[in-house]
Each structure stands twice: as C-alpha cells, then as structure tokens.
Amino acid sequence: MRDHSQHIQLSREQAVSSMLEAMDAAPAGFGWANIAAGEDLHSGEVARKCCEQVALADSVGRVLAYDVVSRCDMPSALTCAMDSIALHWSDFENLAEGELPDTSAWVRGVDWQFANTGVAMPEGFDTAIVIEHVQVSEDQQHVTIDAAPSKQGAGTRPAGSTMKRGDVLATAGTVVTPDVAARMGTGDNAVVPVVRKPRVAFIPTGNELVPAGIPLDPTRVDQFAARGRNFETNSILVRAKVEAWGGQFVPFDIVCDERPEIEAAIKRACEVADIVVLNAGSSKGSDDWSCEVMEEMGHMICHQTNHGPGHHSSYAVVDNVPIVGISGPSGGASFTLDFYLRPLMRKYLGLNPIVPKTAARLTEAFPAPKHGPGAKNGKPAGEDRPREHPDHAPGEPEFFGIRPLRVEPSADGVLEATPIDGRPGSKTAWGANAFTMMGMGPGIEPPAAGDIIEVEFL
Ligand SMILES: Nc1nc2c(c(=O)[nH]1)N[C@H]1C(S)=C(S)[C@@H](COP(=O)(O)OP(=O)(O)OC[C@H]3O[C@@H](n4cnc5c(N)ncnc54)[C@H](O)[C@@H]3O)O[C@H]1N2
Ligand code: MOO
C-alpha cells in the first residue's frame, strides 16, 4: 500500500502522449527503430526484430513491413477479356464500314478459335468478339458473326495490363485485407514480410483470484471450493483484445498480493514481452502494491487518470518495456485496455496510435448522476470517496465519466446515441455497444438531446 498523498494524475490524452514520447525515446527497444521523429514510420530502416515472413494466407490482418511488388507481368500473355471467339484483325481491317467477312469457309483453329474470359488468347490470334455476336454451328466447327471488332486487339487485355513486374502492389504500413492479399498473390507472392505481432504479457494479481470452472454442489453451497473467491476473467478480456488488435497474448500465472512476487513477475514479463499489462492492486487497499513496485523498478509516467471507471490506470516503463497498469474490476479494465494498451500496440505495429472517434446524435439527455449511498445534503459520507481532482484549466472538465450508450443508425441514416442507465459493466449497461467520455465539473454543461457527441464502440 503506497503513500497516495503524492501521485501523478494525467488525462487519457496526456497519459498516452507521454507514454508514446517515452517509447520514441527508448533505445531501439520498442517497435520501429531508427526512425526520426515525424518521419513516416515505414520509410526508414526497420528494426530486424520487428519483421517476419508469413505465408500469404496468414498475412490478412497483419501490417506489411516492406512494400510488396509484383514478381511478374500479369496477365503474362495477351488475354481474352470476355467469353469470345478469337479472330485475326487482318480479316477486318480492309472492310467497308458495316461490312462483315464471309466466314463460310473459315476453319476453326486457323481463322477463328474459341477464347474465354481471362485465358490467354490462342497463339497467333490478336482480336476477339464476344460470343453473343457469334452463331456457332452444331458441330462447333463453323461460325457466322453479326458484328465486327472495333479495332485491332479489341476484346483482349495486353500482357502486363493488370500489373507489371516491379509494380508496388501494397506499401509498407498497409493492413493486409483479403483484397490486398489476393492482389499480392496475383503478383506471384506466396510469402510476404509483416511486422511481428507485439507480445503482450498479462499479469493477473490478487490473492482472491481462482480460475473459473470450479464445481458447485447446489445442496452444499457453503462448501463451495471457490467460496469468497473471484474468478480470474480479465485474462480472457485481455487475450481477446490483444488478438483482435494484432498481438500475441503471453499468459502469466495469477500472482499473489506480495511485493517480491509482483516484482518477479514484472521482471520476467519485461524479458519475454514487448508490452506488459499489470492488473489490479492499483488502488489504495492494504494489499495494493502495483504502483509502488513499478515505481521502484522503473519510471512512472502516471499513477492515475481523470476518468472513471479506469481512474486507477497507470503507465510505467521498466527496462524500456511499457507497462500498462489497469484496475481489477472488469468493467473498468475493459475500457482502460482500449485507452492505454491499444495505442501502444498500434504504435508498435507502425499504425496511427489513435483510433478516431465517431460522431453520433444524442437522442435524450443523460440520466442525472446518482449521489453516493450515504450522501446527505450533497455531502459525502465516510463510505464515499472524497473528491480528489488536481488543478485543471478553468472551464475545462475536471473529470470524465464514461457513459454507456446504445448507438444505432436512425431512419434518416444518422447514427443516434441513446444513453443507458448504469455504471459501465453493470447489469443494466450490458446492452451498451458504445460509450462516450462525458466531461464534468463546475461550469460544464452536460450534452442535451440533439447534440452531436463523440462515441467509441465497445
Ligand atoms: N478507498 C478506496 N477504495 C477504492 C478506490 C478508491 O479510490 N478509494 N477506488 C476503487 C476503484 S475505482 C477501483 S477500480 C478499485 C481498483 O481496485 P484494484 O485495481 O486495486 O483491484 P483489486 O482491489 O485487487 O480488485 C478489485 C476487484 O477486481 C477483481 N479482480 C481483480 N483482478 C481480476 C481479474 N484478473 N479478473 C477478474 N476480476 C478481477 C477483484 O477480485 C476485486 O473484486 O478500487 C476501488 N476501491
Ligand atoms: O478505476 Mo475504477 O475502474 O474508476 O472503477
């Protein structure tokens, strides 16, 4: 339990930008190395440890580490554009306008031949007309036609018209989509260079935590082996998010609330991972050691933030490895992973660390905030947490409440956001699919029905 009389509190934006600055200053230890500030992340030398080669089919969702070029001309020969017959332009070039050649003596394979969409033209043929302008005899050896090609080469695609050898098919920094992967395959690439997945270690802490799946006999509930325990579920949350954001989850056993144990886990995590998430023990309890241990081991960027849930989020750097401290309760842990882990993972991958927010029209005002259970005449009771908001610019919000929302498109096509009552993560808020960070403090008006607000999706 650390001395909480002194702490660094930052806003979400300040915390992220301070951490990113710290990572920019890290000696080639994080993400992209040798890149001058402000330069395109992918234009310079790439740290070797950040790249790997993967099979094309495995590249979807990954970030390209280098430009990928075509290894060949495609199509590789004159190709038929549509289902057609192939012809010689020389049979048409001297005809009068509207005149058609007499095809009665034409021989299949000599004067004409079938040619199909996307397939190389039969050798020696240079022009095609679509099969809809052709009547084919029953024995498929003779044709009559009712239209002439407009010019030499009509109905065909020249070699190299889709891509030429050496053409850039996708640039470094591109997130590979199915279309991009297919395009790179068209250029004869079976293997492509991608940024290595950031390894994200997750350290759950707490004496009360046990893994889920312990049997409960409903007739002897008082003998439940997990009585008084909590199930460790944040690892599920972290793993799912890390993988969805393009990282590799590195699990750790549950660590008890003892300083040496937490320190040992952090030390190991910094050896095996690019980013570490340290969970719980973040607050002011007698067993809460997270900030104290990080402070001793490295450099603290912040101890807490100005939003709730997630107030007890922290950032530290230990051995050049960024550590994201998130609070225990899963409702807050989820947001803080989005706020503080995702930008670091994106930075590592060479993507813009900040994901843009979405504008939506508020359908109704937010419900008034409820006072603490023991509040009397607006004064907090002993069980209520005292206000602790450090200096902030006059007129600026002193704190941000995370407010759950249901965001759906309205009949007029505009996104509409409807407030959902309840604290994020609470039962009433289970139906939320988005949230907004609502500024609060003296002189700050809450948004009204019809206002456009910034929302983030869950
Ligand atoms: N006197 C005060 N008490 C509290 C304050 C405060 O300012 N003053 N802040 C409250 C807020 S806000 C939060 S958030 C929590 C932060 O708690 P910790 O991060 O220290 O977490 P713990 O106390 O260890 O655990 C809290 C709760 O979360 C459960 N937990 C922890 N890890 C996991 C996990 N991996 N999976 C599932 N659940 C987990 C844990 O069992 C506890 O139930 O402090 C408030 N108190
Ligand atoms: O830090 Mo707590 O997550 O504000 O609820």
* Ligand 1 centre distance from Cα of residue 307 (Å): 15
Indicate if ligand 2 lies below 6 Å from the C-beta of 328.
no
In this structure, what are the phi and psi dihedrals at residue 90, rounded to the nearest 5 degrees? -60, -25
* Ligand 2 centre distance from Cα of residue 336 (Å): 9
Give exposure, 259-281, as e/b (b: 16+ Cβ within 10 Å). eebbbebbeebbeebbbbbbbbb
Closest protein CA for atom 5 of ligand 2: 309
- Which region among 171-180, 184-193, 287-296, 364-373 has the lowest average model confidence (pLDDT)? 364-373
Atom number of ligand 2 nearest to Cα 335: 3
Question: Confidence band (pLDDT; 50, 70, 90) for 378?
Answer: low
Q: Both tokens of residue 401?
A: 């409440």
Atom number of ligand 2 nearest to Cα 283: 1
Mutual orientation of helices 342-349 and 12-25 as an angle, nearest 10°? 30
- Which region among 143-152, 237-246, 284-293, 339-348 has the lowest average model confidence (pLDDT)? 284-293
In this structure, what are the phi and psi dihedrals at residue 5, rounded to the nearest 5 degrees? -75, -25
The label of the residue with tokens 């060479």 reads 350
Question: C-alpha angle with apex 62: 60 to 63, nearest 5 degrees?
Answer: 130
Mean of the per-residue pLDDT values of the chain? 90
Q: Both tokens of residue 252?
A: 């750790």
Cβ contact 362:419 at 8 Å? yes
- Which region among 33-37, 75-79, 366-370 has the lowest average model confidence (pLDDT)? 33-37
Cβ contact 375:413 at 8 Å? no
Closest CA to 400 of 343, 357, 444, 344: 444
Nearest-angstrom CA–CA distance, 200 and 21 = 19
- For ligand 1, pick from 292, 327, 340 the residue to mutate: most ligand atoms within 8 Å of CB: 327
Q: Both tokens of residue 65?
A: 């580490």
Indicate if ligand 2 lies below 6 Å from the C-beta of 334.
no
| Bridge partners, 227 (sequence order) | none
Indicate if ligand 2 lies below 6 Å from the C-beta of 403.
no
Domain limits, the chain: 9-31+198-349, 358-369+382-457
**What pLDDT shows up at residue 48?**
47
Atom number of ligand 2 nearest to Cα 307: 4
- Which region among 201-205, 341-345, 374-378 has the lowest average model confidence (pLDDT)? 374-378
Indicate if ligand 2 lies below 6 Å from the C-beta of 343.
no
Ligand 1-lining residues (CB < 6 angstroms): 204, 206, 208-209, 230, 232-234, 279-285, 288, 308-309, 311-312, 327-330, 332, 385
The mean pLDDT of 409-431, rounded to a whole number, is 91
**What pLDDT shows up at residue 4?**
56
The mean pLDDT of 117-122, rounded to a whole number, is 98
Question: What is the DSSP pairing of strand 209-210 with strand 275-279?
Answer: unpaired
* Ligand 1 centre distance from Cα of residue 227 (Å): 18
Q: Is the pLDDT of residue 38 over 70?
A: no
- Which region among 160-164, 204-208, 313-317, 393-397 has the lowest average model confidence (pLDDT)? 393-397
- The fraction of the chain above a pLDDT of 70, given in percent, is 90
Q: Is the pLDDT of residue 380 over 90?
A: no
Q: Is the pLDDT of residue 324 over 70?
A: yes
**What pLDDT shows up at residue 394?**
73
- For ligand 2, pick from 312, 336, 426, 440 the residue to mutate: most ligand atoms within 8 Å of CB: 312
**What pLDDT shows up at residue 34?**
46
Question: Confidence band (pLDDT; 50, 70, 90) for 371?
Answer: low
Indicate if ligand 2 lies below 6 Å from the C-beta of 309.
yes
Closest protein CA for atom 3 of ligand 1: 284
Indicate if ligand 2 lies below 6 Å from the C-beta of 314.
no
- For ligand 2, pick from 234, 290, 311 the residue to mutate: most ligand atoms within 8 Å of CB: 311
Indicate if ligand 2 lies below 6 Å from the C-beta of 327.
yes
Cβ contact 44:350 at 8 Å? no
Cβ contact 318:30 at 8 Å? no
Query: Where is pLDDT greater, at 380 or 204?
Result: 204
Give exposure, 326-353, as e/b (b: 16+ Cβ within 10 Å). bbbbbbbbbbbbbbbbbbbbbbbbbbeb
The mean pLDDT of 54-67, rounded to a whole number, is 95
- Which region among 85-99, 202-216, 230-244, 358-372 has the lowest average model confidence (pLDDT)? 358-372
Q: Is the pLDDT of residue 35 over 70?
A: no
Query: Where is pLDDT greater, at 290 or 118?
Result: 118
Query: Where is pLDDT greater, at 40 or 307?
Result: 307
Q: Is the pLDDT of residue 379 over 80?
A: no
Query: What pLDDT, in 10s, does the model give residues 132-153?
Result: 999 999 999 999 999 999 999 9
Nearest-angstrom CA–CA distance, 309 and 335 = 8
Indicate if ligand 2 lies below 6 Å from the C-beta of 329.
yes
Question: Confidence band (pLDDT; 50, 70, 90) for 50?
Answer: confident
Indicate if ligand 2 lies below 6 Å from the C-beta of 310.
yes
Atom number of ligand 2 nearest to Cα 336: 3
Nearest-angstrom CA–CA distance, 110 and 116 = 17
Cβ atoms < 10 Å from Cβ of 72: 15
Question: Confidence band (pLDDT; 50, 70, 90) for 452?
Answer: very high
Cβ contact 314:336 at 8 Å? no
Q: Which CATH number fits domain 9-31+198-349: 3.90.550.10, 3.90.1150.10, 3.30.2350.10, 3.40.980.10?
A: 3.40.980.10
Indicate if ligand 2 lies below 6 Å from the C-beta of 332.
yes
Query: Where is pLDDT greater, at 177 or 384?
Result: 177
**HEC states along the chain?**
CCCCCCCCEECHHHHHHHHHHHHHHCCCCCCCCCCCCCCCCCCCCCCHHHEEEEEHHHCCCCEECCCEECCCCECCCCEECCCEEEECHHHCCCCCCCCCCCCCCCCECCCEEEECCCCECCCCCCEEEEHHHEEECCCCCCEEECCCCCCCCCCEECCCCCECCCCEEECCCCECCHHHHHHHHHCCCCEEEEECCCEEEEEEECCCEECCCCCCCHHHHHHCCCCCCEECCHHHHHHHHHHHCCCEEEECCCECCCHHHHHHHHHHHHHHCCEEEEECCCCCCCCCCHHHHHHHHCEEEECEECEECCCCCEEEEECCEEEEEECCCHHHHHHHHHHHHHHHHHHHHCCCCCCCCEEEEECCCCCCCCCCCCCECCECCCCCCCCCCCCCCCCCCCEEEEEEEEEEECCCCCEEEEECCCCCCCHHHCCCCEEEEEEECCCCCCCCCCCEEEEEEC
- The fraction of the chain above a pLDDT of 90, given in percent, is 76
The mean pLDDT of 163-182, rounded to a whole number, is 96
Indicate if ligand 2 lies below 6 Å from the C-beta of 290.
no
User: Measuring CA to CA, how many Å separate 167 from each of 43, 75, 160, 164, 186?
Assistant: 17, 13, 10, 5, 12
Length of the chain: 458
**What pLDDT shows up at residue 424?**
84
Mutual orientation of helices 259-272 and 290-297 as an angle, nearest 10°? 60
Question: Confidence band (pLDDT; 50, 70, 90) for 40?
Answer: low
**What pLDDT shows up at residue 403?**
95
**What pLDDT shows up at residue 3?**
59
- Which region among 272-276, 341-345, 357-361, 376-380 has the lowest average model confidence (pLDDT)? 376-380
Is CATH 3.30.960.10 what the domain over 358-369+382-457 is classified as, yes or no?
Answer: no
